[in-house]
Amino acid sequence: MQNVNWVALTIFVLLFGFITWLGFAAANWRKGDLDQLHEWGLGGRRFGTIVTWFLVGGDLYTAYTFIAVPALAFGAGAIAFFAVPYTIMIYPILFLVFPRLWNVCNKHGYITAGDFVRGRFGNRWLALAVAVTGIVATMPYIALQLVGIQVVIGAMGVSGTGFVADLPLIIAFVILAAFTYSSGLRAPASIAIVKDILIYITAFAAVIIIPIELGGFGKIFAAVPVQKLLLAVPGPTTTGAYGVYATLALGSALALFLYPHSLTGILSASSGHAIRRNAAMLPSYSFMLGLLALIGFFAIAAGVSGLPEYGAGFKQFGNNFAVPALFLHSFPSWFVGIAFAAIGIGALVPAAIMSIAAANLYTRNIHREFINKKPSDKQEAQMAKWVSLIVKLGALVFILFIPTQYAIQLQLLGGIWIIQTLPAVMLGVYTRWFNDWALLVGWAVGTVAGTTMAVVMNLTPSYPVALGGYTFPGYTAFYTLILNLLLAVILTPVFNALGTKRKSIDETVTADYYA
């Protein structure tokens, strides 16, 4: 504990204290009966356009995003900018699909994607597949948020051995768990406002001040090695880096809103209209994400990885230490405190929403479906509160006892898994044409194939598909989604012909999807 940055740490702790108070006070915000699951887990579906904007923005752009996207630019260069086309594409998807989903969920009291699939396709096994996929994909994502907190705490010089080393993270975790338990979704919704303001201040300060310190963008890009500056131009028989870039962007964009925490944020809006308006307003975050990716290049130009004072940090956290090191190098201590608090609080908001979303899935689509079929409202809400604690505890144990690299790799697999729910959820919003068992087979094959391909490629995101002498390297999640869809399309008429007797019931009608 010799090199603690006390000024930064004090500001960090003060801001953390403030959002802790806010998280508990939020229980009384737009007051509702927190013994009902839709009040605890969806904030009573009462958030208007502005709160939804903060909540969804705070939810999607996580602490890990702020650390990992610049870290990828720092390490791998231009490919990290796939985050920009990705973020361009997510809002048309939000605009087109999710107001319809909101309408039908509101009409039938659905709280999760599993609820919707259960109602739409009348198949509880398909709903179970959606729920389990959502929970399993979310767990490593929560763990990565805790990594974000770990990195900034380490960067402030707080260190120790054994239990003492883990104490700050455990304190942050207890705060998170307590206010989520008591206030439900209202807590991250209110904290998201503080988080987003801090993140905006930090991002703009970084993008304006650091280039001035470094002598302008010309000098920064001159310091970036040539092979990192642009995508490698593909050879004659391959789509090369272009294909990887485009499929990473598209696959990630398609997967994003299938994550339970995204859907929880969206369903808490007060109307489908508020979602459409948000799809038009949220791109302001996209611009910031692009600026943040550039910060990775600032770190190259500042040469932080070669400075002895950051050696230990890079050794412990790898490229993820690039952003904290750059901030320590470029900002006065008091502003480092604000910037690190932005990242730390930026971890709590999504982590809270993720644990709530996972809890909703377990409660609705596993517990109520298979264990206790007739819970009272109070029992259901209580179950969700307990599960949210268990989910977070699991993430904490994961981070404390298992190497960070595993969490990153599992998060990568999570993207491959969650995209397999697209046909049932996103296409299900538009059509009931698919046979439910065909969707289940498509999901299973896509999941197994995607996991296998990722393992074969040593848990890197892209896979080189070879066809007729050409090679198409691309995002594994995207390729396996195509496989999944093909199977669902081919098997639907087959299964329909085989099992005409027991056709599953669709409890929704066309009008449910409109405002």
Tell me the number of residues near another protein by CB under 8 A.
Answer: 48
Out of 16, 29, 200, 242, the only residue in the binding site for another protein (CB under 8 A) is 242
Phi, psi of 344 (to 5 degrees): -65, -45
**Rounded to the nearest whole angstrom, what is the least distance from the CB of residue 328 to another protein in the complex?**
25
CB 421 within 8 A of CB 133: yes
Residue 207 interacting with another protein (CB under 8 A): no
**Rounded to the nearest whole angstrom, what is the least distance from the CB of residue 476 to another protein in the complex?**
17
Give the residues across from 245 on adjacent strands: none
Q: Interior CA angle at 413 toward 258 and 420, to 5°?
A: 40
Residue 65 interacting with another protein (CB under 8 A): no
Out of 81, 310, 437, 472, the only residue in the binding site for another protein (CB under 8 A) is 81
Residue 92 interacting with another protein (CB under 8 A): yes
**Rounded to the nearest whole angstrom, what is the least distance from the CB of residue 270 to another protein in the complex?**
16
- The window from 21-29, 87-95, 347-355, 482-490 that contacts another protein (CB under 8 A) reads 87-95
3-state secondary structure of 453: helix
Tokens for 135?
A: 């929970």
Residue 195 interacting with another protein (CB under 8 A): no
| DSSP structure class, residue 216 | -
Nearer to another protein, 157 or 464 (CB): 464
3-state secondary structure of 102: helix
User: What gap in Å lies between CA 85 and CA 39, rounded to an integer?
Assistant: 35
**Rounded to the nearest whole angstrom, what is the least distance from the CB of residue 265 to another protein in the complex?**
18
Residue 220 interacting with another protein (CB under 8 A): yes
Residue 120 interacting with another protein (CB under 8 A): no
- The window from 99-107, 116-124, 315-323, 417-425 that contacts another protein (CB under 8 A) reads 99-107
Place of tokens 């500001």: 11
User: What gap in Å lies between CA 339 and CA 334, rounded to an integer?
Assistant: 9
Out of 132, 178, 241, 389, the only residue in the binding site for another protein (CB under 8 A) is 241
Nearer to another protein, 411 or 476 (CB): 476
The count of other CB atoms within 10 Å of the CB of residue 136 is 16
CB 283 within 8 A of CB 377: no
Out of 24, 200, 314, 513, the only residue in the binding site for another protein (CB under 8 A) is 513
**Rounded to the nearest whole angstrom, what is the least distance from the CB of residue 232 to another protein in the complex?**
9
Residue 95 interacting with another protein (CB under 8 A): yes
Residues in 445-484 at the binding interface with another protein, rule: CB under 8 A? none
Tokens for 120?
A: 């739409």
Residue 96 interacting with another protein (CB under 8 A): yes
Nearer to another protein, 38 or 277 (CB): 277
Residues in 264-293 at the binding interface with another protein, rule: CB under 8 A? 272-273, 276-277, 279-280, 283-284, 286-287, 290-291
User: What gap in Å lies between CA 138 and CA 145, rounded to an integer?
Assistant: 11
Out of 230, 455, 466, 505, the only residue in the binding site for another protein (CB under 8 A) is 230
The count of other CB atoms within 10 Å of the CB of residue 417 is 24
Phi, psi of 257 (to 5 degrees): -80, 0
User: What gap in Å lies between CA 63 and CA 75, rounded to an integer?
Assistant: 18
User: What gap in Å lies between CA 445 and CA 447, rounded to an integer?
Assistant: 5
Residue 122 interacting with another protein (CB under 8 A): no
DSSP 225-237: -HHHHSPPPP-TT
| DSSP structure class, residue 372 | -
Out of 20, 65, 87, 462, the only residue in the binding site for another protein (CB under 8 A) is 87
Nearer to another protein, 386 or 470 (CB): 470
User: What gap in Å lies between CA 172 and CA 161, rounded to an integer?
Assistant: 18
Nearer to another protein, 86 or 141 (CB): 86
Residues contacting residue 511 through CB under 8 Å, at least 6 positions apart: none
Biggest CA–CA distance in the chain, Å, is 74
Nearer to another protein, 187 or 220 (CB): 220
CB 392 within 8 A of CB 146: no
Q: Given the rule CB under 8 A, which residues bind another protein? A: 78, 81, 84-85, 87-89, 91-92, 95-96, 99-100, 103, 216-221, 229-231, 233, 241-242, 245-246, 249-250, 272-273, 276-277, 279-280, 283-284, 286-287, 290-291, 294, 510-511, 513-515
